[in-house]
Amino acid sequence: MKKYIGIFIILLLFSIINCIPKQDINNNENITKEQIISIDYNDNIFLQEEELILNIFYNMNIEDESVLSTFSHLNENISQYYSMTIDNIRIYENINKETNYIEIINKEVMLFKIPESENWLYIITEDLNYYGFIFIYDISNESFYGNLEINSRSGNYYLSRLYKEYDIVKNHQNINRYGPLLEINHNNNVIRFWDSFFGISTVLNYKYLLMDYFEDYNEILIVVVGSGGLRHYVYNIQLGNLVFETGDFPHFNETRDVIIVIDRIFIEFGFDLIIYTLNNGKFTQVRKEGISIIDFNNIDGSYSSKINGYWIDNDTFQIDYVNIILRRDGQREEGGSVIVKKNNLEFELLRN
């Protein structure tokens, strides 16, 4: 219901945005457009909801020329908004901090991107009482991260790992989070990761989460969490390129010439062990092997597994697993280990 309320309220946004000056008003003097690199998550899923919303709009027989003109300019973004809770922020009449403003406290809001500005968003509170423009850099960490202790116990993959990004942001002045924007400053360049603005219930909804920062290598590990699952990306922020991409978490050895991935996406009774080695500056897959960790013939009830992988040393990787089997006569646990030994260019698998 909130989604459709937002659609009709955005008509007000159309008429207001049509009056925005066409130049970008940039209140952050340290950033220029030439220095900004926006990294987008590529997903080819067709958004059928977008077509539905466009049809709703056209069938409303809007006669206001200014609204129609603005709609023609923004029709690709009509359903794109971002939901969050704002703890405290100023809402301005225009994309200029010299204009009048009001302050809101602890409000659920919908945020909309503005084609005319890199650094400003349009905001509508979900109680529909306030609307206007906010400066992206005014969104606080408290608004985005919320209560980390409660989040960590939520059982939600994304929320339970927010503390990882928070720790990195807290300990590195060149990395900041402003609501839907994760921003990294590196050698006078600004690298931006924007979460999706496709609402909260669409197939294209996704969020970025910074999981690690390898300073010595100018690389970061980003996980994209969306309706379609997880994808992990390693980016070089010095060169601005993608180093590695995988579904599950990549485990680097100390010399960073081997990556091991434990992939459980399509394995019912175990996992795929995937090994990549560095060749001519690129990681290439050299081995993929399905590892069974439970005998389904002996299961009398349901089961779940806990798997943990880690490097013991530069050439030895260990995977520990525990199967929790719920039987009619009670619960039992069984487990073991798989060890991967690297010997020059060969890899040996040992089981305990």
pLDDT in tens, 184-228: 999 888 899 999 887 665 567 789 999 999 999 999 999 998 877
Q: What is the mean pLDDT of the chain?
A: 78
Q: What is the rounded distance in angstroms from the CA atom of residue 340 to the CA atom of residue 347? A: 6
Mean pLDDT of 317-335: 80
Predicted confidence band at 40 (pLDDT cuts at 50, 70, 90)? low
pLDDT of residue 205: 78
pLDDT in tens, 42-81: 443 223 333 333 333 334 343 444 434 443 444 444 457 8
Of the listed ranges 39-48, 175-184, 234-243, the least confidently predicted one is 39-48
Q: What is the rounded distance in angstroms from the CA atom of residue 227 to the CA atom of residue 116? A: 29
Residues in the chain: 352
CB neighbour class for 257 (10 Å; exposed up to 12, middle 13-18, buried from 19):
middle
Predicted confidence band at 309 (pLDDT cuts at 50, 70, 90)? very high
pLDDT of residue 20: 41
Structure tokens belonging to residue 165: 């990004």
Q: Within 10 A of 178 (CB to CB), how many other CB atoms are there?
A: 19
- CA 182 to each of CA 139, 220, 272, 280: distance values in angstroms, whole numbers, following the listed order: 12, 12, 32, 31
Q: What is the rounded distance in angstroms from the CA atom of residue 222 to the CA atom of residue 194? A: 12
Residues with Cβ within 8 Å of residue 242, at least 6 apart in sequence: 233, 234, 235, 236
Mean pLDDT of 310-326: 90
pLDDT of residue 300: 62
pLDDT in tens, 80-136: 789 999 999 999 999 999 999 999 999 999 999 888 788 999 999 988 889 999 999
Q: Give residue limits of the domains in the chain.
A: 2-27+44-139
pLDDT in tens, 260-286: 999 986 566 789 999 999 988 889 999
Structure tokens belonging to residue 116: 């005319």
pLDDT above 70 for 297:
no
pLDDT of residue 6: 46
pLDDT in tens, 111-121: 998 887 889 99
pLDDT of residue 201: 57
- CA 35 to each of CA 86, 193, 234, 241: distance values in angstroms, whole numbers, following the listed order: 28, 14, 21, 15
pLDDT of residue 50: 36
Q: What are the helix (H) ranges across the chain? A: 2-17, 48-58, 65-74, 141-145, 148-152, 157-160, 162-171
Structure tokens belonging to residue 288: 């993929």
Is-above-0.85 flag for pTM? no
